[in-house]
Structures are given as C-alpha cells and as structure tokens.
Amino acid sequence: MKLEFATDCFLYYDDELEMPVMFRTEDGTLVSNNEFSEIGYLDSLDAIELGEESVLAFEAPPVQSIQEFVSSHFPDAEKDEMPELAISAVPLDDDDILPF
C-alpha cells in the first residue's frame, strides 16, 4: 500500500483497489477499507477547509538502484565487477556430447 494523503487525524492509503484504506493518525488503527473510507476522505477535505484538520506533509523516499543503496549505506563495501554468466554447462565445441 502507498500513502496517498495524510492529515493530523487520518492516513489514507491506496491499496490499488477502488477505495482508499483509512487509518487513525493517532494510533494507526484501521478505520475503514470500504466505501466509508472514501466518505472519510471527503469529510477530511471538508474538515481541512473548516480548519478542523491539518494536512501533514510527507515525501516519498527517493528511488535508488541497488548499487546506489549499497554505496550510501555501506560506503566501505568492496565493489565487485559483474561476474560472467555461463550460457551453457556443456562446452560449445563438444557437439558430439549432445544426443540430438
């Protein structure tokens, strides 16, 4: 699930279905994972306009390659060259070994 919207009262996650999933910000308890979460989302938008809830700013973590992650978290790690992968366990010049 991906955090899509957050207020000081509720967190709204996208679970890749039609409805958001709604949790309480205070203690993380599940409020709803059905049509009531969509109603709660609309209620939160109204509450923000009325000053009853505040939007919480959040940033998604940066997308990193595995190499960037390892370099930033393990700066002393040795960098190995990519190993060559064997295409076949049978040498290509040994045609008489293959039964077909």
Count Cα atoms within 13 angstroms, Cβ side, for 89: 1
Using DSSP's 3-state secondary structure scheme, residue 77 falls into coil
Q: What is the pLDDT along the chain (100 residues), one digit of tens a residue?
A: 788 899 999 999 988 777 789 999 999 999 999 889 999 999 999 999 999 999 998 776 677 777 787 888 787 776 666 556 556 555 556 555 555 4
Q: Are 30 and 10 in contact (CB under 8 A)?
A: no
Tokens encoding 10: 């509720």
pTM of the model: 0.57
